[in-house]
Chain A
Amino acid sequence: MIPDPNSLYGPLDPAPDAGWSSAPPRMGFFTDTSVCIGCKACEVACKEWNNVPGSGLDLLGMSYDNTGALTANSWRHVAFIEQPLPAGHRSPPFTGTPTGEPVSAASAAVAAGTGNRTGTDPGLPTGAPSAAARMATSGPADVLGDPIDAGQRPRHGQGSGDAGAGPQFLGMPGAQPPGRGTGAEGRADFRWLMMSDVCKHCTHAACLDVCPTGSLFRTEFGTVVVQEDICNGCGYCISACPYGVIDQRKDDGRAWKCTLCYDRLGAGQTPACAQACPTESIQYGELDELRERAAARVATLHERGVPEARLYGHDPNDGVGGDGAFFLLLDEPEVYGLPPDPVVTTRDLPKMWKRAGLAALAMAAATVAAFVGGSS
Chain B
Amino acid sequence: MSPHRPEVGELFRRFRDRLAADRPGTTDPAAETDGATAATASDAPAATANGGPSGTDTRAELSPRNGDPNRRRAGRRRGGRGGGEELRVPEAEFTSYYGRPILKAPVWKWDIAAYLFTGGLAAGSSLLAAGGQLTGRPALRRAGRVTALGAVGASAVFLVKDLGRPARFHHMLRVAKPTSPMSVGTWVLTAFGPAAGVAAIAEAAGWLPRHGLLGLARRALPPVGHAAGLLAAGTAPALATYTGVLLADTAVPSWHEAYPELPVIFAGSALASGAGVGLLAAPPAEAGPARRMAVAGAALELFGAHRVETRLGLLSEPYRRGRPGRLLRAGRLLTSAGVAGALLGRRSRVVGAFSGAALLAASVATRFGIFYGGVASARDPRYTVVPQRERVEARRAGTDSSPDRAAPPVL
Contact = CB atoms under 8 A, between A and B. Distances in A.
A308 B409 CA distance: 6
Interface string A335-376: 111111110011011011101111111111011111101111
A339 B107 contact: no
B62 A169 contact: yes
Contact of B54 (A161, A244, A251, A255): A161
Given A81-B97, A367-B127, A339 B180 contact: no
Contacts of A109: none
Interface string A127-158: 00000000000000000000000000100111
Interface residues of A, number: 113
A78 to B, nearest CB: 12
Contacts of B211: none
B16 A156 contact: yes
Given A240-B251, A345-B251, A334 B100 contact: no
B104 A246 contact: yes
A332 B5 contact: no
B297 A366 contact: yes
Contacts of A252: 164
Contacts of B290: 370
A88 interface: yes
Contact of A363 (B104, B162, B259, B267): B267
A180 B408 CA distance: 30
Interface stretch (B7-15, B80-88, B145-153): B7-15
A218 interface: no
Given A345-B249, A360-B241, A213 B293 contact: no
A372 to B, nearest CB: 8
Contacts of A68: 100
Interface in B157-173: 162-166, 168-169, 171-172
A206 interface: yes
Contact of A335 (B97, B263, B270): B97
A329 B76 CA distance: 29
A235 B107 contact: yes
Nearest to B300: A362
Given A212-B172, A214-B174, A246-B104, A233 B61 contact: no
- Chain A binding surface, main DSSP class: loop
A341 B392 contact: yes
Nearest to B4: A250
A235 B69 CA distance: 31
A359 B258 CA distance: 14
A73 B123 CA distance: 40
B213 interface: no
B27 interface: no
Interface string A208-241: 0111111100000000000000111111101111
A264 interface: no
A57 B392 CA distance: 38
Interface residues of B, number: 119
Contacts of A105: none
Nearest to B169: A232
Nearest to B242: A356
A375 B182 CA distance: 40
Contact of B240 (A53, A335, A360, A369): A360
A100 interface: no
A239 B378 contact: yes
Nearest to B409: A308
Contact of A188 (B62, B252, B293): B62
B263 to A, nearest CB: 4
Interface in B354-411: 378, 381, 384-385, 388-389, 391-392, 403-411
Contact of B179 (A8, A334, A335): A8
Given A85-B411, A360-B267, A233 B164 contact: yes
Contacts of B94: 334
Given A213-B172, A214-B174, A58 B96 contact: no
A239 B252 contact: yes
B98 A332 contact: no
A345 B388 contact: no
B70 to A, nearest CB: 8
A174 to B, nearest CB: 10
A255 B53 CA distance: 37
A263 interface: no
B13 to A, nearest CB: 8
B134 interface: yes
A366 B9 contact: no
Contacts of B123: 363
B54 A254 contact: no
Contacts of A357: 241
Nearest to B128: A367
Interface in B243-284: 244-245, 248-252, 256, 259-260, 263-264, 266-267, 270-271, 275
Contacts of B241: 356-357, 359-360, 363
Contact of B12 (A61, A234, A370): A61
A352 B63 contact: no
B326 interface: no
A190 B97 CA distance: 17
Nearest to A247: B104
B292 A370 contact: yes
B46 interface: no
Interface string A45-73: 00000000111111111110000110001
Interface string A14-57: 00000000000000000000000000000000000000011111
A356 to B, nearest CB: 4
Contacts of A231: 164-165, 168, 171
A349 B249 contact: yes
Contacts of B180: 209-212, 236
B237 interface: yes
Given A159-B23, A210-B179, A348-B248, 5 more contacts: A57-B8, A334-B385, A355-B263, A359-B264, A370-B289
Sorted nearest first, the 10 A-B pairs with minimum C-beta distance are A233-B164, A253-B164, A337-B97, A376-B288, A360-B237, A232-B168, A61-B15, A359-B263, A366-B296, A370-B292
25 contacts: A58-B6, A69-B100, A81-B97, A83-B411, A88-B410, A156-B16, A211-B180, A232-B166, A233-B165, A234-B163, A239-B108, A240-B251, A254-B165, A298-B404, A339-B103, A340-B391, A348-B256, A353-B245, A359-B240, A359-B267, A360-B241, A363-B123, A370-B289, A370-B293, A374-B289
